[in-house]
Amino acid sequence: MQEGKGQSGPGFGAATSTALDPKAWDAALRECADAGAFCGVLAKVFRVRQTEVALLQLEKGLLRFLFPDELKTAGSIPVSSATAVAAHTAVTKKVELFNSFTKVKHASIFETVKLGKADQADTSESAPIQKLISAPILSSEGRVMGVLQISRKGLDLNLAGADFTLDDLHNLEKAAKIAATASFLHR
C-alpha cells in the first residue's frame, strides 16, 4: 500500500463505511446488474457523491471507464502511463491511499470532464480530487481486470471531507473482489 502525505486522525470515511452493516452492502453489491448500480452502492457505503466513484476495466492494455458514464467517451488510460494512478494500481496490483492527492503527480485530464447532470451539478462536482483510494480488480488467477477508485473532491483539503482510513482501504479491496465476479466485467 502506498499512502500519500496528509492529515491524520479519525476519518469520516472509517466511521461511515464501517457504520453500515458489511453483510448488507456486500449483498447489495453482489446483486448489482450493471456498473452504475454497483458504483451507486459504493457511493452510499463511502458516503461520497456518485461522481466520486470510478470503475475502470482493463482491455488490451488500456483502462477504460465503465463509470461514471461521462468518462466512457472521454478516452482511456494506457497501463504504461507514468502519471495515471489507475495505471499504477493496475501494474502494481496494490491498493493505494492518498489523503493529499493534489500533491501527487497524476494525470488530471479526466478531472476536467463535467460530471453529473448540468442542472443538478454543484461547484464541488467540478472541484479537484483532494483524496483518493484505489484498488485493483483481480481475477481468481490474479489477472488484472480493472481498477476501482473512490475520491473526495473539494476546493481544498478541508472541504473535501475526512481522510480515508485503512478501514476504508480494506472495504474498497473487499468491493474490488466482489466486482471481479460481477457480470458487467465479463461482457
Task: Look up residue 58 and give its three cell numbers.
Answer: 482493463
Q: Is the pLDDT of residue 9 over 50?
A: no
User: Residue 78's domain is classified under what CATH number?
Assistant: 3.30.450.40
Q: Average the pLDDT over 75-80 and give the result.
A: 90
- Average pLDDT of the chain? 82
pLDDT category of residue 97 using cuts at 50, 70 and 90: very high
Compute the distance between CA of residue 10 and CA of residue 15 in angstroms, rounded to an integer. Answer: 8
pLDDT score for 124: 53
| Tally of domains within the chain | 1
Q: Is the pLDDT of residue 5 over 50?
A: no
Domain containing residue 56: 2-185
Q: Is the pLDDT of residue 167 over 80?
A: yes
Does 22 or 181 have the greater pLDDT score?
A: 181
DSSP 63-122: EEEEESGGGTTS-EEETT-SS-HHHHHHHHT--EEESSGGGS----GGGGS--S-TTT--
pLDDT score for 186: 81
pLDDT score for 20: 59
Q: Is the pLDDT of residue 55 over 50?
A: yes
Compute the distance between CA of residue 187 and CA of residue 182 in angstroms, rounded to an integer. Answer: 10
pLDDT score for 32: 94
pLDDT category of residue 65 using cuts at 50, 70 and 90: very high
Instruction: Give residue-wise pLDDT tens across range 102-148.
Output: 888 655 544 444 556 544 444 555 788 999 999 999 999 999 999 99
pLDDT score for 187: 66
